[in-house]
Structure 1
């Protein structure tokens, strides 16, 4: 969704918030009317309070839907009826304030139409036109800031009163930790199987061939050529072992840091890799390792499966370390595949977020956001 679409969505959310704010004000007045006479009688008071809280929860659920649909604010559903009433006591005023901002916007739009008509019909002087343009710019700025402020207050107010309870936060955290632990175990097992397969299909076969060459050399009267072949085969075996060790864990990552390790990934990729590295200092070891494997796996997939000609890698840091890998391949990557799902588990293990956007036809964009502490 573009900028215009975003502002339309926020505007509709503020408009609906003004309507619900008016409804909530009426509801609170009604609640006060039925609660005041019932207050002296405990049983009647309890029944009235329960009724009021039930209605407040219904209105709060409408607000949760509006906030999620138009202001992109998700809130928990385990709040109490008392919290819902407290929320409405403040929320109605915010809603009506948003309605005033909308009225100001409509007034400015109407005045702008009138001024434009007068300018085209020659009823305004140049000085008046310039002053009107300046006033319109100031008014538009104030309205935009008003929309931003109303949306921010809406989100903060809902998060305070309707946010997840301590129990729900802990339950979510336990679920995340259980899932990430299981994912790490699965990723480790998959990595072990891959290393075993690489050794069996590569190094082991070359060692068998080396043994056969040495056996023939022992039996041959003139074994100089066979020894030369055996020497060449040992070089291939060393290269295979280096490749296996590098894929398991690159020594350059510990010795030289993430930047140097990523430069070596770019050199070994077989396709053009543009690397933009903007970290002022080294991240923690676990985060550094996760970032390395995200880039390494993404570049390998782009070269082998996406038939990409160029890969762009951006490593930046704001509040979190962000790794973004984009290739110009055919797209259609499956986030549930063994490679990408393994990366997702690796990133989740350090409390990061992992996303894959790979429409058919490309481009594929992989983003990992990793905590820096």
Structure 2
């Protein structure tokens, strides 16, 4: 059903593209003598923007739709005319073939000849096979025309090769800076955990052992408890640095361990057909850890739901909580996660309206 709906949408987009191609041809011919006029240029950009929406392209990624791209918009409108006409011809052949098939079926159903041909098993079989082959070729032509239109729009309206490389360099520099900042923040947090928690507990343990050696054996039990607490805190800090179980047990078991240690109920659904690369596993793990920690500390959540699945060759991690919302995407923890995800060419989104709920989504490419 979904495939049929997508096919109809594609057919409609190509058909509409054929009609707009003819209208845009008229516009280009009329506006070409005054192509330097500001209003004509603005109209060309608006028409190009409509084509981008028809093709489901992101207008923000197409430079020619911004002021200053009028000349490129004109070139695109002129170049897409033959592609649009080609798509229209393919659709016309599809409609013509469907019409002939319907007329033949109606005529033969009434026992009449169609175009001088009476129905017979060999003829019906031949026409049925030929019709299926031609339908496949025609539908492939519709899909090909649509892909050709998208490629043409991306090439003529989008940034050039040099601009793409410059943007990529800027993105890499920004992601590297974010990763460095996230690593520094994590080091500071580990130092704070060791100093404020484990170090003070070890000092108390040392004092208890010293007093016990000076004739207070009843303090040995308290010293033993302090030692157990110190070991538990040390394991917790080590787990936050890097979970050893992630390598041995995999992402699902590691996430289940986080859910067990959480002070807020956590439901985990990890459905991956294969084990992702180690870097992707690590990023997914820390995304969940930080999101669960934030929900427990700041959101006053009563339930956290974690979903991990694969979609279009990427691992999608989605964490929802029923807390009060208002999470700041520019906060230290979430900024660090965004940098970690960006370092893998992933996408990180935070949706946290006031009053909740909060949804954190990370899309991690897993080649």
TM-score, with structure 2 as normaliser: 0.70
Q: How does 1:37-186 map to 2 (within 5 A)?
A: 60-67=44-51, 72-74=56-58, 75-77=61-63, 81=72, 83-84=75-76, 87-90=79-82, 93=85, 155-186=150-181
Q: Which residue of 2 aligns with 1:122?
A: none
Q: Is the 8 A contact 1:350 1:370 kept in 2?
A: yes
Aligned residues: 301
Out of 315, 329, 338, the position equivalent to 2:332 is 338
Q: Show CA shifts across 1:185-228 (max 9, x none).
A: 00000000000000000001111111211222232x3x211222
Distance 1:330 1:28, change over 3 A: closer
1:73 deviation in Å? Answer: 1.5
Mapped partners of 1:230, 1:360: distance in 2:
47
Distance 1:66 1:339, change over 3 A: same
Q: Show CA shifts across 1:52-71 (max 9, x none).
A: 99999766522343245665
Whether 1:273 aligns to 2:266 is yes
Distance 1:60 1:77, change over 3 A: farther
Q: Which residue of 1 aligns with 2:113?
A: none
Mapped partners of 2:173, 2:148: distance in 1:
35
Q: Which residue of 2 aligns with 1:309?
A: 302
Q: Secondary structure at the match of 2:82?
A: helix
Q: Is the 8 A contact 1:20 1:95 kept in 2?
A: no
Whether 1:364 aligns to 2:358 is yes
Mapped partners of 1:303, 1:85: distance in 2:
54
Q: Show CA shifts across 1:300-337 (max 9, x none).
A: 11112111111111110022111111111111111111
Q: Is the 8 A contact 1:25 1:92 kept in 2?
A: no
Distance 1:55 1:84, change over 3 A: farther
Whether 1:324 aligns to 2:318 is yes
Q: Is the 8 A contact 1:344 1:354 kept in 2?
A: yes
Mapped partners of 1:52, 1:264: distance in 2:
65
Q: Is the 8 A contact 1:198 1:244 kept in 2?
A: yes
Q: Secondary structure at the match of 2:301?
A: coil
Q: Is the 8 A contact 1:60 1:84 kept in 2?
A: no
Q: Is the 8 A contact 2:322 2:358 kept in 1?
A: yes
Q: Is the 8 A contact 1:56 1:85 kept in 2?
A: no
1:164 deviation in Å? Answer: 2.6
Give unmatched runs, 5+ long, in structure 1: 1-9, 35-47, 101-144
Give unmatched runs, 5+ long, in structure 2: 1-9, 93-138
Q: Which residue of 1 aligns with 2:345?
A: 351
TM-score, with structure 1 as normaliser: 0.69
Q: Which residue of 2 aligns with 1:42?
A: none
Distance 1:326 1:347, change over 3 A: same
Q: Which residue of 2 aligns with 1:26?
A: 26
Mapped partners of 1:151, 1:361: distance in 2:
43
Whether 1:217 aligns to 2:178 is no
Q: How does 1:204-243 map to 2 (within 5 A)?
A: 204-219=199-214, 221=215, 223-243=216-236
Mapped partners of 1:52, 1:337: distance in 2:
47
Mapped partners of 1:303, 1:152: distance in 2:
46
